[in-house]
Structure 1
């Protein structure tokens, strides 16, 4: 049966029965249906109010969102009160629970693995871990200021202060990431509140801007036109598909065959100080997000009150730009080493496990690697279980690897050096593909 004869008013008591053919028609910007646990929801009007942003909803319009729904929402019962008014019906009994491109065995085995991880307490956070992490960030910031306040603002001491501040900023970035993924507190409300504090007051950024951007990345990693992290604004061409498309169409905004060289001048040094700062300011103002803007301003008021008496206005601004410059290098290498060398392609509608594994790889565990990357060296486990506290990734990793081996899905593990050099290698490979297509097709 199609949906045409049994559609109901969006009152939350939907009784319509739909086929996948009917559901898949509702995938436009203003007409969006989702399927979660075989229930069909019309989210067209509600999408703009979604805390994770309207785009992440749109990326699953007309699709089965059961797996991504389970991955992103730690409190399933709580979000049901938002879903209930949007219910319009369910899939017909003759329809499979997933679309025909997905493998039921993989989906079921991953569901079992998740249930086992929940049963073993891997989704329970250790408050002491996050308290100590916050403590070492505050200690670094205090030490940076005390050094130049007590011993003076010589070039050597200023450089040391900058390194300590950049380290604190990078580590605060990993901490805000924890709260943003709702992986610390049981109550989502507390995670959201502390997230605003950490990303706003400790980092000078916007929680809503981060949420809307980062959740898209997790929902559709390395998917062209859906993952904002691979939207390089025509500065780079990535993967194996995009370079050929650009080359065939004779698109040449830059000499992409040299992108592995100019990456060092454009990517690591400029992403945070220039691109991210402009983007988040533009987003907060255009969306009138005054709460996040207030947190953003509080960071700079605190920073300036500490350093203007020591460096003056110009010196303080120069110092924070340099700190952002150092932090940006750290951030770019850590975030790109897990994704950029992996498969980057258009939407293929794969199951959750397969999609995440093709877009992510891990870096070897060590105390330094864990600290340096904020445990994002376990990028595979983080993407599969985004609400899992990061100190538990290593506990579930052997089970994830066994599941991948069972289904023949590659589980890539690299050294830190190999992962970083692969970023440059992948850029060169993509640039060469572009040049070959540009010259010969």
Structure 2
């Protein structure tokens, strides 16, 4: 006699939504990942963000077909009694299936090899100019080339973190450590931990780390309520100093972006030397140490301190372009408070992102971020395929009356500064019940 299926309600599933008691549903089957969450290759944060929900859309977006075979060991024998699939999700899954049948997830094109060649050329040219030229202007250009090298290596690190850009997992891991840790000084483990949480909880003020830049930036006045970051597990205080900094954030945005690299360096060290579980911690630390050997050594080869400072500032400032690009796709898009909804995967990604319009010959400049909507919906898709699928995504958004925002690079900058200015003006409102001090009041007395 066949065993009777055990069904649980959605409310009962929602009750298992924390560390040590974490259930999820995929296509109506319930899985207990309480003990395994800490070993999840994508980090624990994505699972905690979607805990107690049906996560089918997020699962198929992030995992290849062979991942299904590993689910059975987590099946707890329960099924979701009120499981249903929205029309948007049906169309999304159908589109993903069609892309898979077309082989788009396997067609990486020649972009990876070309980008690697560019990285090598920029690196060699920068080192050669420092060692073999005595010209101040050559050294300045070399600093800029170093910045461009970091940008292009960053795109490779991003791609290798989302899908396999090399012929094997081992070589792909080597590419990650080389482009991230060794060449750029940024831990790929930190990037994965941060970036996966961002993708899953796109534009949630308290779950998405890419919107949590207090005390320097706030994209919404909701952050003035000193809400708690569930990613960093700390309260984001809106105190007098934060109010002062945010009051001028539309002016400080670009200067801060020129030095944003420092934060990535710091975050990498904080994670690698923390008590958190870090996969391949030894490799990560060795890669970071390699960067902090060759880069300071190269800078020390410059003839005097003024040129050394100039070289570092030039490399940081050029890389600031990439940090601006990271912000443009999300800062002026819709935000919300609370965990993401697993049943609204498609809707959340389209509302929280925007695309940058550009001719195809400029795709190298944006590294795939020009099609951010498509990238968020299909994160495993190689960036060379994003332009190809854009019309299909746009049509699906039109069918379901969802936003599909595409603007120029200039317009995206204007929108971002506009968002920051709006929040800045709200922060200046002295009627807000925020702790004040005499310094803040004196500076803002005359606006």
TM-score (norm 2): 0.85
Show the 5 A alignment for 1:266-277: 267-273=256-262, 275-277=263-265
Q: Structure 2 CA distance, aligned partners of 1:165 and 1:336?
A: 22
Between 314-323 and 204-213, the greater mean CA deviation after superposition: 314-323
Cα–Cα, structure 1 residues 64 and 188, in superposed 2: closer, same or farther, change >3 Å?
farther
In structure 1, runs of 5+ residues without a counterpart are 1-12, 99-103
Q: Partner of 1:301 in structure 2?
A: 293
1:332 offset after TM fit, Å?
1.9
1:117 paired residue among 94, 99, 104:
99
Per the alignment, residue 176 of structure 1 pairs with 157
Match of 1:290 among 269, 282, 295: 282
Conservation of the 8 A alpha-carbon contact between 1:14 and 1:89: no
Question: Structure 2 vs 1, CA of residues 137 and 105 (structure 1 numbering), >3 Å: closer, same or farther?
Answer: same
The Cα shift of 1:331 comes to: 1.9
Residue equivalent to 1:364? 357
Which of 181, 184, 189 pairs up with 1:208? 189
Is the 1:125–1:184 contact (alpha carbons within 8 Å) kept by the matching residues of 2? no
Distance 2:374 2:220 in 1: 22
CA contact (8 A) 2:162 2:380 kept: yes
Give how far 1:84 is off. 2.7
CA contact (8 A) 2:349 2:377 kept: yes
Q: Distance in 1 between matches of 2:293 and 2:132?
A: 22
- Which residue among 359, 372, 384 is the counterpart of 2:377? 384
Q: Give matches, 1:109-258, under 5 Å.
A: 109-126=91-108, 128-152=110-134, 154-185=135-166, 190-239=171-220, 241-243=222-224, 252=240, 253-255=242-244, 256-258=246-248
- Deviation, 1:66, is 1.0
Select 1:96's aligned residue among 67, 80, 83. 83
Q: Is residue 109–residue 384 contact of structure 2 (8 Å, CA) maintained in 1?
A: no
1:132-156 Cα deviation digits (max 9, x unpaired): 110111011111122233332x321
Asked whether 1:22 is paired with 2:6, we answer: no
Residues 188, 220 of structure 1: CA spacing in aligned structure 2 closer, same or farther, 3 A cutoff? farther
- Note the C-alpha offset of 1:217: 0.5
Q: CA deviation at 1:433?
A: 3.6
In 1, the alpha carbon distance for the partners of 2:285 and 2:333 equals: 35
Structure 2 Cα separation of the partners of residues 306 and 243 of structure 1:
43
- Alignment equivalent of 1:60, drawn from 50, 58, 64: 50
Q: Between 222-231 and 363-372, report the one with greater CA deviation.
A: 363-372
State yes or no: 1:326 paired with 2:307.
Answer: no
Does the C-alpha gap of structure 1 residues 60 and 193 become closer, same or farther in structure 2, counting only changes over 3 Å?
A: farther
In the TM superposition, residue 127 of structure 1 has moved relative to its aligned partner by: 5.2
- Name the counterpart of 2:251: 261
TM-aligned CA distance change 1:430 to 1:392, over 3 Å: same
Deviation at 1:165, TM superposition (A): 0.7
Deviation for aligned residue 1:200: 1.7
Provide Cα deviations, 1:382-425, integer angstroms capped at 9, x if missing partner. 11111100011010000100111111111111111111121111
The whole-number CA distance in structure 1 between the counterparts of 2:219 and 2:183 is: 33
Contact 2:354–2:405 (CA under 8 A) maintained in structure 1: yes
Instruction: State whether residues 178 and 287 of structure 2, in contact with CA within 8 Å, keep that contact through their aligned partners in structure 1.
Output: yes
Shift in Å, 1:129: 2.0
Question: For residues 73 and 363 of structure 1, what CA distance do their matches in structure 2 show?
Answer: 26
- How far apart are residue 229 of structure 1 and its match? 0.5
Task: Say if 1:432 and 1:307 are closer, same or farther in 2 by CA, change over 3 A.
Answer: closer
Contact kept, 8 Å, 1:284 with 1:292, in 2: the verdict is yes
Instruction: Give structure 2 stretches of 5+ with no counterpart.
Output: 228-236, 435-447
Mapped partners of 2:41, 2:292: distance in 1: 26
The equivalent of 2:29 in structure 1 is 39
Q: Is the 8 A contact 2:8 2:79 kept in 1?
A: yes
Q: Choose the corresponding residue for 2:402, options 405, 409, 413.
A: 409
Q: Distance in 2 between matches of 1:404 and 1:384?
A: 12
Provide TM-score, normalisation by structure 1.
0.86
